[in-house]
Amino acid sequence: MNSITVLGVRVDDVTMPEALARVDEFMQEPRLHQIVTVNPEFIMAAQKDAAFAEALADSDLNLPDGANLLRAAQAQGTPLRERVAGTDFIWYLSGLAATAGWKVFLLGGRDGVGGRAAARMQTRYRSLKIVGMFEGSPGDEDAAEIISRINESGAEVLFVAYGAPAQDVWIRRHGAELNTVRVAIGIGGAFDFIAKKVRRAPTWMQKIGLEWLFRLVMQPWRLRRQWNLVVFTMKVLRQKRTAGPKKLENY
């Protein structure tokens, strides 16, 4: 598998089918594999958060999530072939789990959104085995109960919706304690989209890379977070001028 580096963070150059094939391989190995949906916000957060940076460095698969990430990769001379959006990946992975008979646990999702997301997922994939749901929190005070619930459920696939970096750091910190989980992925606000609590941008806006603008209009409080995109772009361009393009490396 080829990978690139963007501002010190590894991003794996995979397509959606390749990412799903990797999951199938992970499920055959008797250990937990962590998947991260890397976008520009993740990369900027990793510059200041050592625990998050370590989680990104140690993960088994870093999906290229975000149109601005693809633009940055192109600008630095290491283009990525495809955006693998986290919300889309969750739907495809759920379909794969339903077909394979893998047991799924949903962790996180405030105010019952996890349950509503689960209902929609099972409406689309009637054979999907959702063996547990729990809101909890990424705090240490809830860790023992969460781990116990997941282990008792026998879950093999874990979706964690605590938002980054908390969800990804939690998986890295507690992954070894999850006895049956083979694949764990932080999914941020995907439950909100799946449950239709939050509208997703129209397909045409997603295709031309304006999903961020739609989300900003729908959620004006994201304005400060969107500034990270500007800073991210400036940093990538500055790095390109000083260091030149980096080659793809096998990972």
pLDDT tens by residue, 76-116: 899 999 999 999 999 999 999 999 999 999 999 888 899 99
Q: What is the DSSP secondary structure assignment for residue 196, as one 8-state letter?
A: T
Domain that holds residue 190: 7-250
What is the mean pLDDT of the segment spanning 53-82?
94
124 domain residue, yes or no: yes
160 domain residue, yes or no: yes
156 domain residue, yes or no: yes
Q: Report the pLDDT value the prediction gives residue 85, as an integer from 0 to 100.
A: 92
Write down the residue that tokens 């023992």 correspond to. Answer: 144
How many distinct structural domains can be found in the chain? 1
**How far does the chain reach from its first CA to its final CA, in angstroms?**
5
Q: Report the pLDDT value the prediction gives residue 110, as an integer from 0 to 100.
A: 83
Between the CA atoms of 169, 170, 173 and 176, what dihedral angle is there, to the nearest 10 degrees?
A: -130
2 domain residue, yes or no: no
Distances in Å between the Cα of 60 and the Cα atoms of 64, 182, 210 are 13, 11, 29
Q: Report the pLDDT value the prediction gives residue 26, as an integer from 0 to 100.
A: 98
3-class state of residue 133 by DSSP = strand
Q: Report the pLDDT value the prediction gives residue 199, as an integer from 0 to 100.
A: 62
Residue 191 has pLDDT above 80, yes or no: yes
List the beta strands (DSSP E) in the chain: 2-6, 9-12, 33-38, 61-64, 103-108, 129-134, 157-161, 183-186, 249-250
Write down the residue that tokens 């509503």 correspond to. Answer: 116
